[in-house]
Chains A and B, each alone.
Chain A
Amino acid sequence: DAGVIQSPRHEVTEMGQEVTLRCKPISGHDYLFWYRQTMMRGLELLIYFNNNVPIDDSGMPEDRFSAKMPNASFSTLKIQPSEPRDSAVYFCASSKPGQGAETQYFGPGTRLLVL
C-alpha cells in the first residue's frame, strides 16, 4: 500500500496568492482528516470527512480556508488569499472505523511558507 499521498511536499508562495494542497487517502479508508502543525500550537485538526461528507469544520481558522472531498480518493485544502501566518506543515490522515480504525495514518505533509 502506498500510504497517504500528499502534494506538493513543499510550497512557497507570496501573501495574497491562492494555495491548494492535495491528498489521496489510503484506499478503503472512509475517514479523512486535515491537520495543521506549528511549533506554537502543535497538531491541530482543521476539518474531517466521513464518506466524502464534511463532518466537523470547526477547526478551520477562517473563511479563507476551504476543503473539499469530491470522491473517496481525493481531497483538497485551499487557502485563498494566503497570509504569512498560514505558514505551517499541513498533514492529511485517513482511517477506517471497524478495523482498529481509531488509528490514523498520516501523509508526509506539505510544508507551506507564505512570504
Chain B
Amino acid sequence: SQKIEQNSEALNIQEGKTATLTCNYTNYSPAYLQWYRQDPGRGPVFLLLIRENEKEKRKERLKVTFDTTLKQSLFHITASQPADSATYLCALSSSGNTPLVFGKGTRLSVIA
C-alpha cells in the first residue's frame, strides 16, 4: 500500500541553524510533491511545490529537494527563527487533478 513517512514527529533546533525535514514514500509515483506549514488551530498553508523532473526548488530561506530514485524529499529552512516553529506536512499527488496524500507531519520547534 502507499505510504508516506516523515522522519520524526518532532524536531528541536537552535535559532540560526538549518532545519532539515525528511519525507519518504513507498509504492507511489508522484508527479508532484508539496510542503505545507500548519500552525496550531489553523489549516495547512502551501509553501512549495516540486515536480518529478525537478531536483531542487528554493523560496527565500526554504529549499526543497526531490529524489525520485531514493523516493525522498528533503525540506530545509536556513537561518531558522522561532517564528518557523510549526508542523510541516509533505503531500504527494500523481497528477494536477488528483487529490493530495499527506504525511502525518513533523513538528518543528526553533529554540531561541
- Using a CB–CB cutoff of 8 Å, the interface residues on chain A facing chain B are 4, 31, 33, 41-45, 48, 50, 56, 91, 93, 97-98, 100-109
Contact B102 A102 (CB under 8 A): no
Can you show 9 pairs from A to B with CB atoms below 8 A apart? A42-B102, A43-B102, A43-B105, A44-B102, A91-B43, A102-B96, A104-B100, A106-B43, A106-B44
- Write out the residue numbers on chain A whose beta carbons fall within 8 Å of the beta carbon of B104: 41-43
A14 to B49, CA, bound (A): 41
* Chain A CB within 10 A, most for which of B32, B89, B93, B102: B102
Say which residue of A56, A91, A100, A109 sits within 8 Å of B99 (CB atoms): A56
A115 to B60, CA, bound (A): 45
Q: Which residue of B lies closest to A48 (CB)?
A: B99
Contact B101 A106 (CB under 8 A): no
Answer whether residue B73 sits at the interface, using C-beta atoms and an 8 A cutoff.
Answer: no
Say which residue of B96, B99, B105 sits within 8 Å of A33 (CB atoms): B99
Q: How far is the CB of B101 from chain A (nearest CB, A)?
A: 7
Contact B43 A107 (CB under 8 A): yes
Specify the main secondary structure of chain B where it touches its partner.
loop
Q: Beyond A97-B96, A106-B45, A108-B42, is A42–B34 a contact (Cβ under 8 Å)?
A: no
- Write out the residue numbers on chain A whose beta carbons fall within 8 Å of the beta carbon of B44: 43, 91, 104, 106
Contact B32 A102 (CB under 8 A): yes
A103 to B34, CA, bound (A): 8
Say which residue of B41, B42, B46 sits within 8 Å of A104 (CB atoms): B46
Contact B42 A100 (CB under 8 A): no
Q: Beyond A45-B101, A102-B34, is A109–B42 a contact (Cβ under 8 Å)?
A: yes
Q: How far is the CB of A53 from chain B (nearest CB, A)?
A: 13
Q: Beyond A45-B101, A103-B34, is A108–B43 a contact (Cβ under 8 Å)?
A: yes
Q: How far is the CB of B86 from chain A (nearest CB, A)?
A: 14
